[in-house]
Amino acid sequence: MRRALGPALQLAAPVLLLVATAGIAVSLSKARQLEFTNALVMAAVVVALYVFVGNSGVISFGHMSFVAVGAYLAGLVSLDPQTKTFTVPGLFPVLRHAQIGLVPSLGLAAAAGAVYALVVGLPLMRLSGLPAGIATFAVLGITYNVLSYWGRVGPQTQTISSVPETGAWTIAAGAILVVAAAFLYQRSRLGRQLRATREDPAAARASGIDVYRQRLLAFTLSGALAGLAGGLYVHQLGLISADLFYLDLTFLTLAMLVFGGVGSLWGAVLGALAISALNSFLGDAEDTVHVGFALKLHAGTRLVTVGAVMALVLILRPSGLTGGREFGLPWRR
């Protein structure tokens, strides 16, 4: 009983949190709803990031590339071909003529994320530590550069704003799918092998674990989930723009992950939702919010506060809010 309940709770807690977020979102006005659905998308992105970074202990600054590829693909194939002829005339014909529904576009996004991650991971997963960080950062730089200037794959430095948007429950379903995949992976034999390499690469190797293969596998899965999250992002926001997927998002999602606790799925979801909530609240407070009294913050306070909070948590509690533990009821610990 006790053994069965623990793992079930570890999955149920983050899922319930996401469902609650979506539940609140649908009861709100359109503008307010966007803040909640954005939090759900962030949770999906951060969990995708966690599948690799959390389980392997290797840093990646490149994951927003996979999010970007997923978002671009899902967004472009969802657009009306007629619009595309005007807004992005240089597009590859396949992309320009295609128009498919929401679910296939998300599937395509996940596949594209996986393929890109696999191609990148084949050479890069031999690296670890700082070189891995810099190399993945270079991947991000290349992706951003190409997306910004190559007219065959997108609107270059322009923004497309007519991607069909979708409701809170769809976004939540996508985010839950990502969480469930992450959960199943980390409890599987493969996930445990990777976590063993995180704790002690030498001992793991001595026990017959192929570190490179395990990392590559996690990187590819993580890329697929990131691609899917990117698809969710584009359908949540309705925008395609290269600037969305560069340094700001990279930093924000990594900080969310570290804030919640790099070592646990629960931490990834909690971190994403907590920072999103803080971000939204402060954004509102910049044009007056009522918390018993009218609070009006100077424009720009939001960024400073979010930055300060994240820096403080990193400095004072480097293992994050959850300390890298999965969700558990207090008396069970």
127 interacts with another protein by CB under 8 A: yes
**Token digits for 316?**
């004072």
Window 308-327: residues binding another protein (CB under 8 A): 308, 310-311, 314-316, 318
Min CB(150)–another protein separation in Å:
8
* DSSP letters for 140-165: HHHHHHHHHH-TTSS-TTS-B--PPP
Please give the Cα distance from 167 to 181 (Å, whole number): 22
Backbone phi and psi for residue 230, each to the nearest 5 degrees, phi listed first: -65, -40
> Please, which residue, 4 or 130, has the CB nearer to another protein?
130
Which residues lie below 8 Å from residue 294, measured CB to CB, with a gap of 6+? 288
Contact with another protein (CB under 8 A) among 89, 93, 123, 292: 123
Count the residues in the chain: 333
Residue 191's alpha-carbon distances to 102, 180, 188, 217, in angstroms, are: 30, 13, 5, 9
Q: Are 32 and 277 in contact (CB under 8 A)?
A: no
Min CB(262)–another protein separation in Å:
7
**Residues in a beta bridge with 294:** 290
Q: What is the dihedral of CA 29, 35, 36, 39, to 10 degrees?
A: 170
Min CB(123)–another protein separation in Å:
6
Please give the Cα distance from 9 to 7 (Å, whole number): 5
Min CB(310)–another protein separation in Å:
5
119 interacts with another protein by CB under 8 A: no
Min CB(203)–another protein separation in Å:
8
57 interacts with another protein by CB under 8 A: yes
130 interacts with another protein by CB under 8 A: yes
Contact with another protein (CB under 8 A) among 247, 274, 289, 295: 247
> Please, which residue, 41 or 255, has the CB nearer to another protein?
255
Draw the binding track, 187-226, toward another protein (x: CB under 8 A; -: no contact). Answer: ---------------x------------------------
Contact with another protein (CB under 8 A) among 300, 330, 331, 332: 300
> Please, which residue, 126 or 187, has the CB nearer to another protein?
126
> Please, which residue, 90 or 104, has the CB nearer to another protein?
90
Please give the Cα distance from 193 to 91 (Å, whole number): 42
138 interacts with another protein by CB under 8 A: yes
Q: With CB under 8 A as the contact rule, which of the stretches 86-94, 212-220, 223-231, 304-312 interacts with another protein?
A: 304-312
Contact with another protein (CB under 8 A) among 104, 129, 184, 188: 129
Q: With CB under 8 A as the contact rule, which of the stretches 79-87, 163-171, 172-180, 254-262 interacts with another protein?
A: 254-262
* DSSP letters for 84-128: HHHH-TTS-HHHHH----HHHHHHHHHHHHHHHHHHHHHHHTT--
Looking at residue 240, the DSSP 8-state letter turns out to be B
161 interacts with another protein by CB under 8 A: no
Q: How far is CA 309 from the centre of its chain?
A: 20
131 interacts with another protein by CB under 8 A: yes
Draw the binding track, 259-278, toward another protein (x: CB under 8 A; -: no contact). Answer: ---x----------------
Please give the Cα distance from 314 to 271 (Å, whole number): 12
Q: Are 211 and 221 in contact (CB under 8 A)?
A: no
Chain contacts with another protein (rule: CB under 8 A): 53, 57, 59, 123-124, 126-127, 129-131, 133-135, 138-139, 141-142, 145-146, 148-149, 202, 247, 251, 254-255, 258, 262, 298, 300-301, 303-304, 306-308, 310-311, 314-316, 318
